[in-house]
Amino acid sequence: MAKRRRRQFAIDNLLTDSAEPVFVLNADREVVFLNRACEALTGRAADQVMGLCCRYHGAAGTADLPDLAASLAPPPEVFEGRATTIASLFRGPNGQRLMRHIQFSPCHDESGRLAGVIGLVSAQADRPEQLATPQVELHEGLLKVRDRLYRRFGFDKVVGVSESMRRVMAQLRVAAQSDANVLICGEPGTGKVLVARTIHQESSRRDAPFLPIDCALLPADLLERDLFGSEADEATERRAARPGLVHRAQGGTLFLKNLGRLARDIQARLAAAMQCWRDVESKAHKKVQIGIRLIAADLQDPVKALAAGELRPDLYYALSTMVIGLPPLRERKDDIALLAQLFVEAVNSRGEKQLGGLAAAALEMLMAYDWPGNVRELNEVIDEAHARCQSSVIAADDITPRIQGAWGGAFAAPANDQRVDLDAVLLEAERKLIEQAIKKARGNKSQAAELLSISRPRLYRRMQMLGMDGGDGEEPVAEA
């Protein structure tokens, strides 16, 4: 027994005093050991790190403990008994971002059950001679893309490698470094809210409020009250004065979503306030200074909205100092694999189930789809597939059936000697698009029309022409 204790003591000392950073996780992904070299690398004492649950997602290079846990996280295949080496990002004690490789080795007890995982951190820049799964390679690719984006632009939440997204990144950096008002345009689901938040969080106003409001959700009177506040009802004393978002966003950012749905009289009032915030009056009619930044988003081209009379010229010119157009996902197919991996790891960070990524067949299926709901739809599909998956990798069968079979029949390549009725194919494709939009909008025709970027009357007419249920009702004149 004494010899066994001495041997254990010697091993503990060897690991503790090793010049190479070493840590150990138990079978529940919790840190149970961290040597001195690992403390020096991370700038964290072992007692601060003990017990951290290391869920598998890419670290962002911040200084908080959850991000350090992500830096130490092994891929799921390690817990299936496979030794693996992956790249990981650390934040050093001096704030420097450090890319390192971690060699993970699973350890089993006498009964063959997984007892824990040993992680050995290496400073070498290149991967050791060891085969990596496609999922690990995509994880590393995402990690390195986000690190490059951070080093170049100062942020990494908006992810993309396509040419169109590189242009967007450059615009975001300029917007974050200035105090100009911004107008963001793009189809539903392209990420307008994320872009607006990123501009605010990377600007000098980051410590002040970011207050969003959706102009499509409230009637004009309530929207005006929320924006500009309401006065007290002195006659009944039942209502106190309430400051509006324009006042509460002082020093920060006011974000208007669906700008085109804003009534023209409110547009006029907002444009006047933007030209001279000091003219906004409080209850006592005393002039107050309200230095705020306005970011607005809309589904359509602002020039077309201006020509159609939906957007007042004074508001348009006040907002159009900087216009950022977000491309639809079908025009940035190079980003789909990275975004899918990003969403898989986002679900990993929130729960107990840990997946490594997607199988090649599942990725091919995502690449073949046209994504009318854009990035938001991809996120929802990955969330659903993650919940359905019963292994460590999302397979093609885990993808929702509407993605699996959406285009198979309509766009099958004809034989060389077979004639094709192009009109029938196009009508069937249109029917599928409308069915998907209505399903995604849960039967709400107005929302379905927005997803399809058409008016609701036009949607009714197309449904009636196609003989679809719900397309034979009276067209709403108000939305013509």
Among 22-31, 39-48, 314-323, which is the least confidently predicted range?
A: 314-323
DSSP state of 418: -
| The two structure tokens encoding residue 143 | 């990690």
Contact yes or no for 158/198 (Cβ under 8 A): yes
Mean pLDDT for the stretch of residues 346-370: 95
Confidence check: pLDDT of 410 > 50: no
CA dist., res. 6 & res. 154, Å (int): 51
Residue 456 to residue 448: CA distance in whole angstroms: 8
Q: How far is CA 190 from the centre of its chain?
A: 10
Secondary structure of residue 256 in the 3-state scheme? strand
| Type of residue found at 361 | A
Task: Give dist(CA 273, CA 346) in Å, integer.
Answer: 40
CA distance 270 to 265: 9
Those residues with Cβ within 8 angstroms of residue 353's Cβ, 6 or more apart along the chain or in another chain? 347, 386, 389
Q: What fold is seen in the domain 163-233+241-325? A: Rossmann fold (3.40.50)
Q: With 60 as the cut, is the pLDDT of residue 6 above it?
A: no
Could you please state the CATH topology (level 3) that the domain comprising 422-479 is classified under.
Answer: Arc Repressor Mutant, subunit A (1.10.10)
Give CATH 1.10.10.60 domain extents, the chain.
Answer: 422-479
Nearest to 318 by CA among 420, 183, 163, 137: 183
* 441 vs 181, higher pLDDT: 181
Domain with CATH 3.40.50.300 in the chain: 163-233+241-325
75 within 8 A of 356, measured Cβ to Cβ: yes
Phi-psi region of 428 (alpha: psi -120 to 50; beta: other; left: phi over 0): alpha
pLDDT at 421: 67
For residues 276 and 290, the answer to whether their CB atoms sit within 8 Å is no
pLDDT reported for residue 232: 46
Task: Classify burial at 41, counting beta carbons within 10 Å of its beta carbon; exposed 0-12, middle 13-18, buried 19 or more.
Answer: buried
Q: Is it the case that residue 184 has pLDDT exceeding 80?
A: yes
Distance CA(277)–CA(288), nearest Å, equals: 8
Q: Could you give the 3-state DSSP secondary structure of residue 99?
A: strand
Could you give the residue ranges of the DSSP H alpha helices within 282-351?
A: 302-307, 313-319, 336-350
Q: Residue 81 CB: number of other CB atoms within 10 A?
A: 11
pLDDT digits (tens, 9 = 90+) for 296-320: 999 878 888 888 888 899 888 888 8
The identity of residue 335, as a single letter, is D
Percent of the chain having pLDDT more than 70? 84
Of 72-81, 239-248, 254-263, 427-436, least confident by mean pLDDT is: 239-248
Q: Write out the two tokens for 131.
A: 């085969």
User: 358 is written with which tokens?
Assistant: 């997607």
Enter the pTM of the model. 0.77
CA nearest neighbour of 201 among 253, 165, 256: 253
Helix axes of 192-201 and 163-177: crossing angle, nearest 10 degrees: 40
- Residue 382 confidence (pLDDT): 97
By CB neighbour count within 10 A (0-12 exposed, 13-18 middle, 19+ buried), where does 473 fall?
exposed
Output the average pLDDT for the chain: 84
Q: What pLDDT sits at residue 378?
A: 97
Query: What average pLDDT score do residues 428-433 get?
Result: 79
Is 460's pLDDT higher than 60?
yes
Backbone angles phi and psi of 43, in degrees to 5: 75, 20
Pick the CATH number of 17-153 from 3.30.450.20, 3.40.50.720, 1.10.260.40, 3.40.1280.10: 3.30.450.20
Vertex 108 angle, CA 107 and 109, to 5° = 130
User: What are the backbone angles phi and psi of residue 18, rounded to the nearest 5°?
Assistant: -60, 140
Q: Is the Cβ–Cβ distance between 124 and 115 less than 8 Å? A: no
pLDDT band at 413 (very low <50, low <70, confident <90, very high): very low
CA distance 204 to 214: 24
Q: How far apart are CA 89 and CA 99, in angstroms?
A: 5
* pLDDT of 62 above 80: yes
Pairwise pLDDT comparison (192 vs 449), residue with the higher score: 192
Among the residue ranges 43-57, 372-386, 400-414, the one predicted with the least confidence is 400-414
The third-level CATH classification (topology) of the domain covering 329-404 is Helicase, Ruva Protein; domain 3 (1.10.8)
Closest CA to 299 of 479, 477, 167, 454: 454
What is the predicted pLDDT for the residue at 414? 46
pLDDT tens string 431-454: 888 888 888 888 888 888 888 878
Residues 64-90, mean pLDDT to the nearest whole number:
94
Residue 53 gets which letter from DSSP?
B
Please give the span between the terminal C-alpha atoms of the chain, in angstroms, as a whole number.
Answer: 87
Residue 289, judged by CB atoms within 10 A of its CB (0-12, 13-18, 19+), counts as exposed
